[in-house]
Chains A and B, each alone.
Chain A
Amino acid sequence: NAGVTQTPKFQVLKTGQSMTLQCAQDMNHNSMYWYRQDPGMGLRLIYYSASEGTTDKGEVPNGYNVSRLNKREFSLRLESAAPSQTSVYFCASSATGTASYEQYFGPGTRLTVT
């Protein structure tokens, strides 16, 4: 049982390049989330998916797109990377719709945009 997995672990992009961050969970959770973490800012929600087939914007969605590919997988795409998107990106999942709303995180992707 791997929990939440993310790929890649590290990535360096040049301004204007695009890339997709991958996330998968094996806990049969309904909801999945993408956060970014910057120094002194805590975790900020980019997008979330309450259930398969739905996605919604979070606090900082500009410059990002997401795809909930199936119940297990939720990807985050940067279409044209900017230096302001240098950050650590975390995917998380939770079993919403039940008594438990516990949210579990992946190990993160460290992205640098030059």
Chain B
Amino acid sequence: GQQLNQSPQSMFIQEGEDVSMNCTSSSIFNTWLWYKQEPGEGPVLLIALYKAGELTSNGRLTAQFGITRKDSFLNISASIPSDVGIYFCAGRTSGTYKYIFGTGTRLKVLA
């Protein structure tokens, strides 16, 4: 089945560093969602994006809806140990209730 290309697959960073990750698709999306998942838990919604070019923040997290509508970006500023987890993107095309998920970016923060 179709999946989004999410990169990088994993990141090891030092506490205090900024983080960037992205998702790309061959399809045009109307909605992008970004989630964080911790071990043994369900994904938690971080940010929702609805318009091309939209930039939305949630604390130290900022996500952007790409102007081509085929990509999205998530940035985490000044990372802290509790940022550890897997970050997923999800996209929805027009006229459907279904989302397609990326394979995730595994983030590890070294104190």
Point out residues on A near B: beta carbons under 8 Å: 4, 31, 33, 35, 40-45, 48, 50, 58-60, 90, 94, 96, 99-108
CA distance A101 to B102 in the complex (A): 17
Contact yes or no, B45 A103, CB < 8 A: yes
With A50-B97, A103-B33 known as contacts, the answer to whether A42 contacts B103 (CB < 8 A) is: yes
A62 to B93, CA, bound (A): 24
Q: A44-B1, A105-B43, A105-B45 are in contact. List 11 more A-B contacts (CB 8 A).
A: A31-B97, A35-B101, A40-B103, A42-B3, A42-B102, A42-B103, A45-B99, A48-B97, A48-B98, A102-B45, A106-B42
Contacts of B35 in A (CB 8 A): 105
Q: Which B positions have Cβ atoms within 8 angstroms of A?
A: 1, 3, 31, 33, 35, 40-45, 48, 50, 88, 90, 92, 97-99, 101-104
Q: Are A58 and B92 in contact (CB under 8 A)?
A: no
Q: Report the nearest A residue to B102, measured CB to CB.
A: A42
Quick one: given A48-B98, A50-B97, A96-B97, are A59 and B103 in contact (CB under 8 Å)? no
**B1 lies within 8 A of A60 (CB):** yes
The listed residue with most A CB atoms (<10 A of its CB), out of B1, B40, B97, B98, is: B97
Contact, CB under 8 Å: B101 / A94: no
How many contacts between A and B, using CB within 8 angstroms?
A: 56
With A31-B97, A41-B103, A42-B101 known to touch, is A101 a contact of B92 (CB < 8 Å)?
yes
A96 to B92, CA, bound (A): 12
Which residues from chain A contact B92 at a C-beta distance below 8 Å? 101
Among residues of A, the one whose C-beta sits closest to the C-beta of B4 is: A42
Q: Which of B44, B48, B104 contacts A42 (CB 8 A)?
A: B104
What's the minimum C-beta distance from B61 to chain A, rounded to whole angstroms? 15
Q: For A100, what are the chain B residues with a Cβ–Cβ distance below 8 Å? A: 48
B48 & A102 in contact (Cβ 8 Å cutoff): yes
Which chain A residues lie closer than 8 Å to B42 at the CB level? 4, 90, 105-108
